[in-house]
Amino acid sequence: MTQTGGTERAVSFAGAVKTFGAVRAVDGVDLEIGRGETVALLGRNGAGKSTAISLLLGLNAPDAGTVELFGAAPESAVRSGLVGAMLQEARAVPRVTVGELVAFVARRYPAPMPVARALELAGIGELAGRRVDRLSGGQTQRVRFAVALAGNPSLIVLDEPTAALDVEARHAFWQSMRAFARRGHTVLFSTHYLEEADAHADRIVVIDRGRIVADGTGEQLKRAAGGSLVSIDLAGRPTEDLAQLPGVRTLEIRGDRALLRTDDSDATVIALAARNAIRGLEVTPASLDDAFLALTAHELEPELETL
């Protein structure tokens, strides 16, 4: 029996590094996830999400730093049945039924949940007798979710769980995931979808080029990346002084409009009014998309610059 019960931490990365040749896929990650949290790992393609998940599951060892699950080595937590995972590669198992597959996996865990419960939580109770190699993409994805749930793990790790699902299937999937999280389980999922991270996670961790560049709620991310966008018609007026206005972080000129990203839209608008510069004024809160782009925007890679 592993001594993993006492810690309040489900996941702990400390200075974790994983390189593949010259690529630092995970580049000094420090991350702690408490029991019961639902956390989204958000990043572009190639940001390092799957590599971080592979370290977390003990599928890869870090080159430097440490990764722990429930205060123990990942392999030991996985062996103790504390972790369920839904990874990207789906392997179709021929001929077995959904119920047989989930029961097979459940038997490998010390304290599984009843198969009917796992199917119900994944929203596929009616598929128990169907062959797993004859299902739609959305159904297959939910079978994989049921497989991850089967052992009744404390932590469930989902690598891009809604990739390739249509809107309806996605909605159903998140309902199931939330039902599981409400029972006090810890959930970590990776996604490219900002709306999903915002809607379904308590906390969003943004990863870019192997490093964590933001960690907080959707609201905090929006604030960190600049609270509002103020735009005006330039009507031929000069633009040099706009970047110096109170609150303004960045200035972008699009045709005859100026777009100001500001931390204090009131102060920015008052200053524009004092300059008699208000024409076609629009003030909008920065969206999570804006926040994500601001956090992960970087210069062109050197090799691309020379093309």
Radius of gyration of the chain (CA): 23
- The residue (of 24 and 117) whose beta carbon lies closer to ligand ATP is 24
Q: How far apart are CA 43 and CA 24, in angstroms?
A: 15
- The residue (of 49 and 144) whose beta carbon lies closer to ligand ATP is 49
CB of 111 vs ligand ATP, minimal distance in Å: 31
CB of 41 vs ligand ATP, minimal distance in Å: 8
Q: Which amino acid is at 230?
A: V
Do residues 62 and 14 touch, judged by C-beta distance below 8 A? no
CB of 271 vs ligand ATP, minimal distance in Å: 40
CA 234 distance to own-chain centroid: 38
Cβ burial 218-246 (10 Å sphere, 16+ → b, else e):
beebbbbbbbbbbbbbbeeeeeeebeebe
CB of 18 vs ligand ATP, minimal distance in Å: 8
Three-state secondary-structure class, residue 91 = coil
Q: How far apart are CA 20 and CA 67, in angstroms?
A: 18
Do residues 154 and 2 touch, judged by C-beta distance below 8 A? no
Residues that bind ligand ATP (CB under 6 A): 20, 23, 25, 43, 45-51
- The residue (of 47 and 234) whose beta carbon lies closer to ligand ATP is 47
Q: Which amino acid is at 134?
A: R
CB of 45 vs ligand ATP, minimal distance in Å: 3
Neighbours of 271 (CB within 10 A): 19
- The residue (of 51 and 154) whose beta carbon lies closer to ligand ATP is 51
CB of 274 vs ligand ATP, minimal distance in Å: 46
- The residue (of 55 and 146) whose beta carbon lies closer to ligand ATP is 55
CA distances from 142 to 93, 136, 145, 209 (A): 15, 10, 5, 30
- The residue (of 87 and 294) whose beta carbon lies closer to ligand ATP is 87
CB of 190 vs ligand ATP, minimal distance in Å: 6
Do residues 141 and 165 touch, judged by C-beta distance below 8 A? yes
Q: How far apart are CA 17 and CA 210, in angstroms?
A: 8
Q: Where are the alpha helices (DSSP H) in 247-287?
A: 265-274
- The residue (of 20 and 75) whose beta carbon lies closer to ligand ATP is 20
Structure tokens at 18: 């994983």
